[in-house]
Amino acid sequence: MLRLLSALVEREALLSHLDHPGGRRPATGSLELVQAFVNTVDREHGPDLFDDDTGLQEWLARRMLAAEVLAGDRERALEVREALRSLLLANNGEPHDPAAQAALERAARRARLEPAFPPDGAALVPRAAGVDGALGRILAAAFAAMVDGSWTRLKACPREVCGWVFYDRSTNASATWCSMRVCGGRVKAGAYYRRRTRG
Ligand SMILES: [Zn+2]
């Protein structure tokens, strides 16, 4: 019973994107959508909202991107999510991953992203329906952030089992870990920590 309750709480935290280690404030504007999308899994403790179609459907609905999840959609959502994480690791000093770039470009083509020129600001708009179109909105948000320069401050935590995405508000954009306490400290205490968790 307790375990079920805590699983529900964990799931809700991912759905509502309220968990921000280190007391960091999330990204603002449409960039927060990208951050929330990549943070749909707690890689260290679980759960992963995209383990089943229902989780993906529920997350999309929460973000006003409601779409019916059809065969293959969940796999494509996972591919886009992990490709974005890869780019966000590159924002944190990891090498560029050409396969991730290619995956995002494929997803952008599937979403049929097109430029639009409304008076309140130019934007890329997905012409595809369904989950492909919803993923297109996330890609359009990432693209806009790359153009306006805010993208480089969105980073994935480099501790292998973490990968949590945070928005770096430090003066020189020099933060590395999602939280010094959660990840930075553990990596620093490396050998000691590994010895203890193994035994
Ligand atoms: Zn971390």
Per-residue pLDDT tens digits for 71-94: 999 999 999 999 999 999 999 999
Please state, in angstroms and rounded to a whole number, the distance separating the CA atoms of residues 173 and 150: 11
101-133 tens-digit pLDDT: 999 999 999 999 999 999 999 999 999 999 999
- Whether 111 contacts 132, CB under 8 Å: yes
- Assigned token pair, 53: 């179609």
Which pairs count as long-range contacts for 117-124, CB under 8 Å and 24+ apart, including other chains?
none
**Model confidence at 57: pLDDT above 70:** yes
Percentage of residues in the chain with pLDDT exceeding 90? 83
Please state, in angstroms and rounded to a whole number, the distance separating the CA atoms of residues 186 and 177: 10
Q: How many A from CA of 190 to the centre of ligand 1?
A: 14
Q: How many A from CA of 138 to the centre of ligand 1?
A: 23
pLDDT-derived band at 185, boundaries 50, 70, 90: confident
Q: How many A from CA of 99 to the centre of ligand 1?
A: 23
Percentage of residues in the chain with pLDDT exceeding 70? 94
Q: How many A from CA of 157 to the centre of ligand 1?
A: 5
Which runs of consecutive H residues, i.e. helices, occur in the chain?
A: 2-16, 31-38, 53-62, 73-90, 98-110, 130-148, 185-188, 190-198
Residues paired with residue 41 on neighbouring β-strands, in sequence order = 48
